[in-house]
Structure 1
Amino acid sequence: MIDLHGFGPALVAGTWMTIQLALASLALGLILGLLGALAKTSPYATLRWVGGTYSTIVRGIPELLWVLLIYFGTTDVMRALGELFGIKNLALSPFAAGTIALGLCFGAYATEVFRGALLAIPKGHREAGLALGLSKVRIFWRLVLPQMWRIALPGLGNLFMILMKDTALVSVIGLEEIMRRSQIAVSVSKEPFTFFLVAAFIYLGLTVLAMTCMHFLEKRAARGFARSAA
């Protein structure tokens, strides 16, 4: 039995914080990724430029730098906003900064996944919707989005597993997730191998759980397609 020197509850709390950070970043990243893909496939050159610039710049800078830039780089901006609205010491929390940074990065990569899924949908499906008298909004929600989601799911699943491990980067700004809690335990117990090994198994367990959920979602998304193909 591994002796955790009383740090078991702290590691559990760190695991829960990691899960919250990953899910919050996922939600933000999916929204940004969908908007980015729609912009890059837009008939308007300005929107295509905005989408392409976003995905290029964000993907070209390491995730760790985005965490540091957003946490430390927004200090003056948040202070100015606080003075404007009469809020003292207004600042982004490590959780908020981590969510924004990881969500931005996930969204940039998800933009390309969604874009590929959009381009994979035959144009005839949209034309059929127009022939039935559906509006462009209903065509997107009823015809395009379900197909795009099914095609994009495997790629999004891989990105989410990467995101899950990238949450460790937020430990550098003090968020007490798995890595931060493990580092604290190591500094007290002087047993780095034990606690970093436990952290590795926790990340592995979260990855397996994410893979199981993605497999379920992929099967569910493919049900109607499988029946129609049969």
Structure 2
Amino acid sequence: MNNGMVLEFATAIFAAGWITLLVAASSLVLATILGLAAAFAKLSDSRALRILAGLYTFIVRGIPDLVMMLLVFYSLPAFLNQIMETMGWDMHVAFSPIGAGIATLGLIFGAYMTETFRTALQNIPKGQIEAAIAYGLTRRRLFFRIMLPQMFRLALPGFTNNWLVLAKATALVSLIGLQDVMFRAKGAAEATGKPFTFYLIAAGFYLMITLLSLAALSFAGRRSTAGDRKLSP
């Protein structure tokens, strides 16, 4: 195998990086939305909402990520098709690999984000919320002016960890046929018989995401605490 072939396969692997980043970013958005909704549900006065949110986090965190991915991509469409066939409907359900990958990762990491956001919300001083209500702030202004900025700062370490794990977990989508970085690396390894070379290239891609993410989120963390003042003892 000459250097030109290695370069060609390496280029193909990195070219698939945008798919990996698209899946990761889209899954993060979905996970954040689900996490916020479930966190507020767990802290709500509604017993039904607390039970539903608790079941969501318990079930999702108790099933391996790979099993969840296969359930969503293969088993769920088959189950839905069986139901429609029983009911006599002439329809067929099939999920695209990218859609199934984003939905599954968003669902999985939404459960982890739930605990991150719930803990952050619980650590916001209640006195500040009570004072804001006493001043007549609406729920919307209370959330965006008081709760959201503090929740962001308190949740950032856990959010960072969840994002880093999510970014690496995108490698699972290669197993359902999406041509991401890992799919291309596997194809190159099989075509050339040089798995170490191309899996090392894929590892370098994920390591690059980790380093850039840590730098960006560390900067965000410093900016979020820039206004803090240390009280002298």
* Fold shared by both chains (TM-score > 0.5): yes
2:190 pairs with 1:181: no
Residue 113 of structure 2: aligned partner: 110
Change (3 A) 1:150 1:53: same
What is the CA–CA distance in structure 1 between the aligned matches of 2:90 and 2:118, rounded to whole Å? 41
Query: 1:217 aligned to 2:220?
Result: yes
Aligned pairs, number: 228
Cα displacement (A) at 1:81: 11
Given that 1:33 and 1:110 are in contact with CA atoms closer than 8 Å, whether structure 2 keeps it comes out as yes
Runs of at least 5 residues in structure 1 that lack an aligned partner in the other structure: none
Residue 201 of structure 1, CA deviation = 1.1
Instruction: State the one-letter code of the partner of 1:16.
Output: W
Check the 8 A contact 2:33/2:110 in 1, yes or no.
yes
Could you say what the CA RMSD is over the residues aligned between the two structures, in angstroms? Answer: 2.5
Which structure 2 residues correspond to residues 35-54 of structure 1 after superposition, within 5 A? 35-54=37-56
* TM-score, with structure 2 as normaliser: 0.89
Q: How does 1:155-170 map to 2 (within 5 A)?
A: 155-170=158-173
1:153 matched residue in structure 2: 156
Q: Could you tell me how far apart the structure 2 residues matched to 1:87 and 1:175 are?
A: 28
Identity in percent = 44
- Give the deviation of 1:82 after TM superposition: 10
2:15 and 2:7 mapped to 1: Cα distance?
15
1:12 aligns with: 14
Is the contact between residue 61 and residue 112 of structure 2 (CA under 8 Å) also seen in structure 1? yes
Change (3 A) 1:217 1:9: same
Q: Distance in 2 between matches of 1:77 and 1:129?
A: 49
User: Is 1:135 aligned to residue 133 of structure 2?
Assistant: no
8 Å CA contact 1:98, 1:170 repeated in 2: yes
In structure 2, give the amino acid aligned to 1:129: A
**Gap regions ≥5 residues in structure 2:** none
1:191 aligns with 2:194: yes
Give distance in 2, aligned partners of 1:196 and 1:12: 12
- Cα deviation 1:55-92 (Å, max 9, x = unaligned): 11100001111111111123246659999xx9976521
Which one-letter code corresponds to 1:151 in the other structure? L
Report if the CA contact (8 A) 1:117-1:152 is conserved: yes
Which region of structure 1 is more displaced relative to structure 2, 92-101 or 74-83? 74-83
Whole-Å Cα distance in 2 between the matches of residues 93 and 80 of structure 1? 19
Flag the 1:10–1:88 CA change in 2: closer, same or farther, 3 A. farther
Give the stretch that moved more between structures: 10-19 or 124-133.
10-19
TM superposition score normalised by structure 1: 0.91
- Mapped to 1, the partners of 2:71 and 2:182 lie a distance apart of 20
1:58 to 50, 57, 60: 60
Per mean C-alpha deviation after superposition, the further-off stretch among 34-43 and 7-16 is 7-16
Distance 1:158 1:87, change over 3 A: farther
Q: What's the secondary structure of 1:176's corresponding residue?
A: coil
Q: Are residues 92 and 82 of structure 1, via their aligned partners in 2, closer, same or farther at CA, if it must alter by over 3 Å? A: farther
For 1:81 and 1:151, how far apart are their aligned partners in 2?
45
